[in-house]
Every structure is written in structure tokens, then in C-alpha cells.
Amino acid sequence: MLPHGLIGSQNGVFAPAILHPYFGPIFATTARNMKKISILLVAALIGSASAVSAQNTIYSYAIGNWRNGPTVEITPLFRTTEMFTTPQLIAWVREQWPKEFTDTTDIDVQRFATMEEGNESRIVLQAKYGRRNLAVHPIEAAAMPSTPDKPAALPPKRP
């Protein structure tokens, strides 16, 4: 008979168990298994921490007044990271191009993995709005703009 709260193992080592009043032991493990579990937990923690900090570079552009105009505003392609949310990117766009985006009613942000995809999408979008007879104002930049390394905190929403 084993002491209360302990169960035997193959090596004759006793391991603590959680005893359920009706079903008996519901979790039991040996010292060797505990060591394996703790190594796996540490590896998972390190892996998840490095995955969170490694944000990929992506390319994006914003579109203002995209539903009904009167003039559709399209920013140049800019470099950003996956860390930025849509509201943070919209706030950044409004800071960078206040004249074009301060009074926009509809604003959206498109994201792309490569610069080529972003440029192609921007060209196709201009052509689509041209077919709808909406005036399109593509904003050009000499050098590709980039967002800061970390997004600025957004002010809290008003109730």
C-alpha cells in the first residue's frame, strides 16, 4: 500500500498526485518527466518572446475619400512593420500628410509583403477610380517614407 497522495512509478520513485475524491489520482508524474516538462516550458517561453519582438517589415499605403470622393487621396507607398494597427497607421498618415488627410471622411490602409505588390496595387487602384470618373490625387514622395520603429500610443476613446 502506497502512502496517501503518492503513486508508484516504473523506477520505484514515488511522485505526488492530485487525488480526486471519487476518481483517485488525476495527475501524476515522475521527477524525470517534470524535468522534461520544465525544459519544454522554458523553450516555449523563449520562443514566444522572440516571436513577439520580431516584427516583419511590410509596405503600405493609405486611401482617403475612397467611397465617393470628391477627390480620392492615395499616399505613396511607405515602409512599416506588422506591429502597427490600422488606427495607428491612420493617425501616422494624418500626421505626415495633414493637408490631404485632415478632412477625409473615409480612410483605409492597405498592407503588402513586398514593395512590388504595393506599387502594383497602387497603380491598379488609380486606374479603377479613374474608370469610376472620380478624381484621384496620388501623393508622390522623393524617398520612401517610413513609420517610426514603435507606434505611438493612441489617445483613449471618448465615451
Q: Report the pLDDT value the prediction gives residue 104, as an integer from 0 to 100.
A: 86
- Say what the pTM is: 0.63
d(CA 27, CA 34): 12
Residues 89 and 129 in one domain: yes
Q: Report the pLDDT value the prediction gives residue 125, as an integer from 0 to 100.
A: 94
The identity of residue 9, as a single letter, is: S
Helix, strand and coil content of the chain, in percent to the nearest 5, comes to: 35, 25, 40
pLDDT tens string 33-69? 667 777 777 777 776 665 555 588 999 999 999 888 7
d(CA 18, CA 6): 9
Residues 47 and 116 in one domain: no
Q: Report the pLDDT value the prediction gives residue 13, as an integer from 0 to 100.
A: 54
Residues 44 and 15 in one domain: yes
d(CA 8, CA 41): 25
Residues 17 and 65 in one domain: no
For residue 96, being part of any structural domain is answered with yes
Q: Report the pLDDT value the prediction gives residue 64, as an integer from 0 to 100.
A: 93
Residues 125 and 67 in one domain: yes
Q: Report the pLDDT value the prediction gives residue 78, as an integer from 0 to 100.
A: 95
d(CA 63, CA 106): 8
For residue 1, being part of any structural domain is answered with no
Mean pLDDT by runs of 10 across the 159 residues of the chain is 50 55 55 70 69 78 89 94 92 91 89 95 93 91 86 71
Contact 72, 134 (CB under 8 A): yes
d(CA 141, CA 76): 6
Residues 64 and 49 in one domain: no
Q: Report the pLDDT value the prediction gives residue 53, as an integer from 0 to 100.
A: 59
Residues 18 and 72 in one domain: no
| Alpha-carbon dihedral angle through residues 30, 34, 35, 36, given to the nearest 10 degrees | 100
For residue 144, being part of any structural domain is answered with no
Per DSSP, what are the bridge partners of residue 27? 18
